[in-house]
Amino acid sequence: MTQLNDMLDIERPLPPARSFSAPFWEATREKRLVIQYDRVAGAYQFYPRPTSIHTGRRGNLEWREVSGLGQVFSYTIVRRARPPFRDREPYIVAMVTLDEGVNVMSNIIRCTEEELAQGLRVKPYWHPLSDGRHLLLFEPDR
pLDDT per residue as tens digits for the range 108-118: 999 999 999 99
* Model pLDDT for residues 55-102, shown as the tens digit of each residue: 999 889 999 999 999 999 999 999 999 988 899 999 999 999 999 999
* Domain 67-142, classified CATH 3.90.1280, yes or no: no
Phi and psi at residue 61, to the nearest 5°: -85, 140
Sheet holding 61-66, edge to edge: 43-45, 33-38, 61-66
Domain parsing of the chain, residue ranges:
19-66, 67-142
* Model pLDDT for residues 6-49, shown as the tens digit of each residue: 889 888 889 998 999 999 999 999 999 999 999 999 999 999 99
**3-class state of residue 11 by DSSP:** coil
Predicted pLDDT at 69 = 98
Which residue, among 132, 96, 110, 103, has the nearest Cα to 7 in the 3D structure?
110
